[in-house]
Amino acid sequence: MQAAGALTLHRRVLADLVPAFAVRDAALVIGYAILVGLLAQLVIHLPFTPVPVTGQTFGVLLGGMALGARRALLGMLLYVLVGVAGVPWFADHKGGFDVLGDPTFGYLVGFVVAAAVLGLLAERGLDRKPQLTLLAMVAGTAIIYFFGVTWLWNSLQISIGTAIRLGLVPFLIGDAIQGLLVAGLLPGAWKLVRK
């Protein structure tokens, strides 16, 4: 009887009925979407391609591995769905249903898939050692490019070679640097946590 009374005292308002882990997970999912939305505003336009350089990929890669599959998938789904619903947090402050016809929309689809896959890889320990994390980064980036370049190819009705030249080749050096950064950050964070 004492335990039941103590439990009742701790639940004084409706919010107390929500488990703490649910609040934490919701905050992480929303925070991940917001982080990628903010990084999308870091834009550099290249004159020879419709695909801009943004900070999004870095956020997707890092968050996907840091959050795990379920939270990463939900975070990127939230990011894309809220953006399609009208929040202008895609690159160049784009948002709304019009982005579905944008030649770069495939990269957003790739973010969702890559985040989930990277989360799965992290759950299997590929975020503990730099070389394994780097392999995961290559896999995640390849997924993003698969969807992005395929969408670009179909959207602009260009050859696959041209789509690769416009939507992949100009970004390889930047993505390699991002992958190396994440490959250093995540294993480094694990070392700090273990101390």
Q: What is the largest CA-CA distance in the chain?
A: 74
**Among the residues of 40-168, which ranges form H helices?**
56-67, 69-85, 105-123, 130-156, 160-167
Cα–chain center distance at 124: 18
17: its two tokens: 């009925």
The model's confidence at residue 9, banded by pLDDT at 50, 70 and 90, is low
Question: Using one digit for the tens of pLDDT, what is the confidence trace for 119-164?
Answer: 999 999 999 999 999 999 999 999 999 999 999 999 999 999 999 9
The whole-number pLDDT of residue 186 equals 85
pLDDT at 12: 73
Residue 184 has a pLDDT of 87
170 versus 190: the higher-pLDDT residue is 170
**Residue 57 above 90 pLDDT?**
yes
- Local confidence band at 187 (pLDDT 50, 70, 90 cut-offs): confident
Q: State the pLDDT at residue 14.
A: 64
Residue 31 has pLDDT above 80, yes or no: yes
Res 8 pLDDT > 70: no
Q: What pTM was computed for the model?
A: 0.87
Please tell me the least confidently modeled range out of 81-85, 103-107, 186-190, 191-195: 191-195
Is residue 167 predicted with pLDDT exceeding 90?
A: yes
The percent of residues in the chain predicted with pLDDT above 90, rounded, is 76
Query: Does position 6 have pLDDT exceeding 80, yes or no?
Result: no
- Cβ–Cβ under 8 Å, residues 111 and 144: yes
pLDDT band per the 50, 70, 90 thresholds, residue 20: confident
| Residue 93 zone, left/alpha/beta (φ > 0; ψ -120 to 50; rest) | left
Domains of the chain from N-terminus onward: 26-194 (1.10.1760.20)
What whole-number distance in Å separates Cα of residue 186 and Cα of residue 134? 10
- Tens-digit pLDDT profile for residues 98-120: 999 999 999 999 999 999 999 99
